Amino acid sequence: MSTTRSVARLGRGDVVELISDVGPVPRNVGALLVLGAPTSPGTVPADRPDDGVAAEAVEVALRTRASRIPGLMRRLAPPHQGWRRPSWVDGVEPDLDVHVTRELCPGRGDDDALLALAVAVVARPLPRSRPLWGAVVVTGLRGGGLAVVLSMHHALSDGMNALAILAQLVDAPDPGPISGPSGTPASTVRPEHTSLPSPQGSRDVTRGAGLPTRTWSLPRLAPACSLNAITGPRRRVVPVDLALDAVLAAARARGATVNDVLLTVVTRAMARTLDARGEHVDELVVSVLVAARTPPGGHGNQVAVMPVRVPTGGSPVGRLEVVAGRTRALKARGAGRAAPGYAALVRLLAATHLLSPFLNHQRLISTTLTTMRGPTTTLTLAGARVTRVVPLTGTAGNVAVSFAALSYAGRLTVTAVVDPDVVPEVEQLIEAVRDEVCALLDEHPRPPAV
């Protein structure tokens, strides 16, 4: 491997992610890949729980391919030559045996045990003295097969960049997005929305503080509810799998997007959870996380969020139409740019030691939703089919439940990530998501047969 190294200043979004990493759980993102049997004759079977040979083949593939991805060969360094921000040092040669490891699935090796292990892996702090990522090959699954848990710090990779990296870790030919020289994905993999709203009539929180005033302003407060409580160190992830074609049909029938559908159903599921607690809210505010990418060849994060106020009452189709109208209006007002004002606000709060109190007591949003378009065809890794990809995100501050959705090979997997001490009824929450999707599919007109 070449020892040539270069230094690049962290982007504004990267710095925000580092500064915001102040809670009991690190700001990591990741994915759980479930592997099935090999796809070609003569490949070492990957469907035996104790087959160390198959696990070793996966580990070798991950280490070899990771060494060729520039984004995984960079680490943090102090500010370089007078820069105020930390820097990325590219071209490092980490010990890949440390970054790619193996673990036995605990307990019975069932889905619950695997998800619990995946959450635990992503919740582990990543040492800042080496590249901010790791991969764990999981053996001992009930019914056979292997799994891989990928974990990266959000400063290194947002959801789109993580998908581009995944596309370079799996077997060729690559059916996923094309990436630039630093692992930056092409526009074929992106969240549903890429714009930043500027709500009219809202108060500019940066005016008078010597901060940028054009791109980030304070919207109306979100309703107070018990799902917004200070989170602790525990996390739990519960996924639900949906048929992508059915969700797309429901969205298109109303001139909406998949993200609009998800906004509609996750907020109604949250409202049902609150109803069961004796609380009633007429609307919730969802922060739709987006990434306004740098030019080709760039890297890191560009901070941009789209807060959407979503009604919780009315018919499923009626709510969807309202949401679709609101997101269209927000996109029309937005410029598709990142938010330097927000980044400046985060730096100001951190410098005055107010960031943790702000995150723990904020009333700007009720929850977050990240929606990503993944590969349309089945991936393989070391000859084994990737049968499922589960997105793994986090929660922070007083956002005790967040959602992530990823499409993959005709399936749309939606995960609810919660602090189980605040949201112990997470199974009922995710079942409510499924119920609300079914209600929406039953209500929208079926497309004519081709």
Contact 392, 119 (CB under 8 A): yes
Q: Which three-class secondary structure state does DSSP give residue 73? A: coil
Predicted pLDDT of residue 172 = 83
Look at residue 245 in the predicted model and tell me its pLDDT. Answer: 96
Give the residue among 359, 398, 421, 443 at the shortest CA–CA distance from 19.
359
Domain boundaries along the sequence of the chain: 6-169, 236-443
Mean pLDDT of 220-242: 96
Summarised one tens digit per residue, pLDDT across range 407-441 is: 999 999 999 999 999 999 999 999 999 999 999 99
**Cα(427)–Cα(108) distance, rounded to whole angstroms?**
20
Per residue in 11-43, pLDDT (tens digit) is 777 888 888 888 899 999 999 999 986 555 444
Q: What is the pLDDT of residue 211?
A: 37
**To the nearest whole number, what is the mean pLDDT of the chain?**
82
pLDDT in tens, 256-273: 999 999 999 999 999 999
Is it true that 6-169 and 236-443 share their CATH fold? yes
* pLDDT for residue 181 is more than 70: no
Work out the burial of residue 1: count CB atoms within 10 Å of its CB; fewer than 13 is exposed, 13-18 middle, 19 or more buried: exposed
Give the rounded percent of residues in the chain with a pLDDT score beyond 70.
Answer: 77
Q: Which CATH class is domain 6-169?
A: alpha beta
Mean pLDDT over residues 239-263, rounded?
A: 96
Neighbours of 409 (CB within 10 A): 17
pLDDT of res. 43: 46
> How many other C-beta atoms can be found within 10 angstroms of the C-beta atom of residue 377?
10
What amino acid occupies position 245? Answer: D
Contact 307, 197 (CB under 8 A): yes
Please say whether the dihedral angle defined by the alpha carbons of residues 304, 133, 72 and 356, taken in this order, is positive or negative: positive
Largest Cα–Cα distance of the chain, in whole Å? 69
What is the mean predicted confidence (pLDDT) over 145-173? 88
Q: Is the pLDDT of residue 1 over 90?
A: no
Residue 71 DSSP code: G
Report, as an integer, the average pLDDT of 352-373: 93
Q: Which CATH number fits domain 236-443: 3.30.559.30, 3.40.50.150, 3.30.70.1060, 3.40.30.10?
A: 3.30.559.30
Q: How confident is the model at residue 52 (pLDDT cuts 50, 70, 90)?
A: low
Structure token digits, residue 76? 């943090």
In the chain, pLDDT over 90 holds for what percent of residues? 60
Decide: pTM greater than 0.85: no
pLDDT exceeds 70 at position 446: no
The answer to whether residue 5 scores a pLDDT higher than 80 is no
Strand order in the sheet with 411-418: 236-243, 411-418, 401-408, 367-373, 283-291, 303-311
